[in-house]
Structure 1
Amino acid sequence: MLRASRKQELKELIFVQSIKLFKEKGFDNVTVEEITQACGIAKGTFYNYFPKKEAVLLHLAVSQLESVHESIQRNQNMPDLKQKLLHLFSNLFHQYAEQPDMVRLVVSEMMRADMFIDAEMRIVEKFRQALAALLEDAKDKGLLTTQAASEDIAAVLTGVYFNSLLIWLSGDTAAIQIETLFQRHFDIVWEGIRSEGVVEQ
């Protein structure tokens, strides 16, 4: 367990140092050698964690996907479906508030480069599938009785989340404000879901 923890710490170090260099010099102008020097590691160690420089940028999205799965697992017995969903999304927005410059840089670079589109879409699809599975589980437990397909509800919630992210990226809106905006939009969607059959706790 300790070994796994140390590996995760080293991966985070590589990620953080890389982002610092990307911010200072621009993504295209930073080499893997510069990253390894900043981290005090060998090139081989870098490639043990990231197959190429571009993979560093995907680390944030992968980490957020892991956070979604952890939130679902941690709160699987929470009886209030709305609170379970809001808690899941709040965890994602929390990282924006903690490191807004880093998140802005990573997401902006990923949106700018065509090479990330396929990888991004796969992660978004896994995100949507995780939400759909959560909703389907709520149906199985009798917490959600809507006739709407779980996949469709998950797609709408995913759209609301990424719309909030794009609004945040396009202006000076603070992360705490964007979470409030997300919740307003979420509440509108929730009213539609509830009218079709959410069991209130």
Structure 2
Amino acid sequence: MLRASRKQELKERIFAQSIKLFKEKGFDNVTVEEITQACGIAKGTFYNYFPKKEAVLLHLAVSQLESVHETIQNNKNMPDLKQQLLHLFSNLFHQYAEQPDMVRLVVSEMMRADMFINAEIRIIEKFRQALTALLDDAKNKGQLTTQAVSEDIAAVLTGVYFNSLMIWLSAGTDAIQIETLFQRHFDIVWEGIHPGGAVKQ
């Protein structure tokens, strides 16, 4: 377990150092050799964690997806579905608040490069699948009685989330403000699938 923890720490260190270099010089101008020199590791060690430089950028999205699964697992016994969903999205927005420059850089680079499109689509699909499974489970538990298809609800929630992300990126809005905006939009979706269930302000 300790060894696994150290491996994860090294991976995060490589990621953080890479992002620092990308911010300073631009993604296209940074080589794997520069990253390994900055981290004090061999090239082989870098490739043990990231098959290529581009994979460093995908690490954030993969980490967020892992965080989503972990949050869903930790909150699976929470009786209030709305709070469970809001808590799930809130965790993602808090990552924006903690390291806004890093998140902006990673997302901007991934949107700019065609090589990331397929990988991004796969991650978004897995995110949608995780939400669908959560909604199906809520239906089975009687927490959600809508006739709407879980996949459709998950697609709408995913769209609302990524719309908030794009607004945050383009407007430079504070992460807390964008979470508030997301919650307002979420309430509209929630009222559609759970009439009368929206929290009154």
Report the TM range for the smaller structure's normalisation: over 0.9
Q: Deviations over 1:128-171 (max 9, x none)?
A: 00000000000111111111000000000000000000000001
Structure 1 distance, partners of 2:93, 2:12, is 19
Structure 2 distance, partners of 1:185, 1:69, is 23
Question: Where in structure 2 are the equivalents of 1:1-201 lying within 5 Å?
Answer: 1-195=1-195
Structure 2 distance, partners of 1:39, 1:83, is 41
**Count of residue pairs the alignment pairs up:** 198
Structure 1 distance, partners of 2:2, 2:159, is 38
Q: Deviations over 1:12-67 (max 9, x none)?
A: 00000000000000000000000001111000000000000000000000000000
* TM-score normalised by the chain length of structure 1: 0.97
RMSD: 1.2
Structure 2 distance, partners of 1:145, 1:189, is 14
Gaps of 5+ in 2: none
Structure 2 distance, partners of 1:16, 1:114, is 23
Structure 2 distance, partners of 1:188, 1:40, is 50
Q: Deviations over 1:82-115 (max 9, x none)?
A: 0000000000000000000000000000000000
Partner SS for 2:194: helix
Partner SS for 2:158: helix
The one-letter code of the counterpart of 1:142 is G
Structure 2 distance, partners of 1:146, 1:4, is 43
* TM-score normalised by the chain length of structure 2: 0.97
The one-letter code of the counterpart of 1:145 is T
The one-letter code of the counterpart of 2:111 is M
The one-letter code of the counterpart of 1:105 is L
Partner SS for 2:146: coil
